[in-house]
Chain A
Amino acid sequence: MAEYAMAIDDNRLEDWVELFDEACDYKVVTRENVEQNLPNVLMWCDNKNMLRDRVESYRHVNLYNLHYDRHVLGPLRFTGNDGATWRFDVSYSLFQTELEGASRLFSVGRYRIEALVEAGEARLKAVTVVADTGLVPSLLATPI
């Protein structure tokens, strides 16, 4: 998870994608929707190619607020395992800093993660970001 956060914070989004398995699922949802059993997503990639597309689009197509990201990860709790698949929850805070140096809290919430651990190597199978911060400041481009 440290590499997950730092890859995004260092703007190495391509490296971030490489932490995922080819058959993976990445989703950003809000606590407001989850608590009402509503399926709406802010972002959803249901395989690694969609993650690659997101990143490529950010690099060449989309325009968004120029900023630095900084993730601070909170307590991590294992919630179970199923053979080589391990599940755990981690809380996060994500701060954004503008080019002129002003920082703000951008999002807080929790990751729900499924990782495949094989031969001493972990690959992400599923990451669901459940954001408490349903009111997205400005816009959400770079991943949480």
Chain B
Amino acid sequence: MKSEIRWPRNDYSRVPFRLHHDEELYALEMERIFRGPAWSYLCLEAEIPNPGDFRTTWVGDTPVVVSRAKDGTIHAFVNRCSHRGATIVRELRGNAERHVCLYHRWTYSTAGELTGLPFRKGLKGEGGMPEDFEMKSVSPRKMKVGNCAGMLFGTFQPEKAEALEKYLGEFGTGIIKRFLNRPIRVLGYSRQLIAGNWKLYAENLRDTYHASLLHEFFVTYGVDRATQKGGVKMDERHRHNMNHAYAATDTHEDAKAAYADTAARLDRMRLRDSKLLQFKNEFPDGMNLAAPTLFPNALLIQINNTLATRQIRPKGVGGHEVFQTVFGYVDDDEAMTRHRLMSSNLVGPAGFVSMEDGEAIEVVQKATRSAGDASAIVEMGGRGPLRDLAHRVTETPIRGFWSYWAELMGVEPEGAIR
């Protein structure tokens, strides 16, 4: 870092813009958060059901292979050959008995151990590796893998990390089990490359204030309005959060009064074909919108009957990929699958209620590059202690995010709240 971070306040109600632009800070985040003790979301267990199945993914800027070994156990290891650093697994997914680096054919087991290399003993007594070369000692760095109800997480520093259950807390495990309550079927993927720092996306997910303002579609067509019953919940450490709302819990008059000072067109617009707004209640809690976010890189999202996970993949200080995995349940019939896909018009890079996020983040990144020492204001919902709220006119979870970020980075201000 070119200079120390100066937090204007110890409750994170001011966030310096340069935290989204500092290259050194970015490198430090990769080390202290993504290769540190945080648990990062890897993929879903349903994506690697059989022995030998693998997926390649990213943990921060580190390429990772998630693999199910022959004995059924799940492993995650850095996708970089121990020898000269080539990518070992180049496919996005597949099934393999072993993984072979293309460069010099060094071979790795499905558990990520180096198991063989050509000409190890040389040829006709000449060349080869030294006698004392130990393959085991140079296997790629492994992550410890944790499984919560079929959602796979990994950490590079298990010795420093809390147990996954504790890290997620009752809060996180409860939410994951809500989404993954029975066998799922992956319906597909979408990817979006946003020209903004990854933390702007993490903030966006914790900012319930913007939801019904930026995403005018929500309000105009009544999918979600701040006047509906809902709120934000956080875990005890305030690093994870969930924005949620219950369907049909406000009146049209409430909404009209609340949005009188915005541009929302509550009376003018009607969809000619409203089937993409249909909601078939499928959870005991009756929520039609739930967006739990798990520090640092995971999100589960329900908008009506579209269900997905999202993984944030930082791509340099000024960009990130949002990798979305859309799923339904194995016991969905054809009509339900069609309904989920139709309702997925609302989410993803072309989603009626999500497309704006990409634009909002990009215009922040663009305009704050030259912001010097200026800071963002994060006071909606109050200053001071972090707490849950039974409303959504708040940005408090953003402060929660920064408090844990600062703790892991070792840059908390004096007297910092947690």
Listed in ascending order, the chain A residues whose CB lies under 8 Å from chain B are 28, 30, 32-33, 36, 38-47, 49-50, 52-53, 56-57, 60-65, 134-141
Contact = CB atoms under 8 A, between A and B. Distances in A.
A5 B316 CA distance: 34
8 contacts: A40-B344, A43-B350, A49-B272, A57-B217, A63-B214, A134-B190, A139-B350, A140-B355
A139 B341 contact: no
B187 A39 contact: yes
Given A50-B273, A135-B321, A141-B350, A40 B189 contact: yes
B190 A136 contact: yes
Interface residues of B, number: 40
Interface in B347-375: 348-350, 352, 355-359, 362
Contacts of B326: 40
A65 B214 CA distance: 13
Contacts, number: 115
A135 B359 CA distance: 15
A63 to B, nearest CB: 5
Contact of B191 (A44, A57, A64, A135): A135
Given A40-B189, A42-B190, A62-B217, 14 more contacts: A36-B93, A41-B344, A42-B350, A43-B350, A49-B273, A53-B273, A57-B217, A61-B217, A61-B352, A63-B214, A64-B355, A65-B358, A138-B362, A141-B350
Nearest to A135: B191
B188 A40 contact: yes
Given A33-B188, A65-B362, A39 B341 contact: yes
A125 to B, nearest CB: 17
A44 B345 contact: yes
A107 B190 CA distance: 14
B417 interface: no
A49 B274 CA distance: 10
A141 B321 contact: no
A134 B189 contact: yes
A115 B187 CA distance: 28
B321 A139 contact: no
B348 A42 contact: yes
Contact of B359 (A30, A36, A41, A139): A139
Contacts of A44: 341-342, 344-345
Contacts of B188: 30, 33, 36, 38-41
A27 B192 CA distance: 18
Contact of B193 (A33, A36, A61, A138): A138
A60 B271 CA distance: 12
A9 B348 CA distance: 23
A138 to B, nearest CB: 5
B190 A40 contact: yes
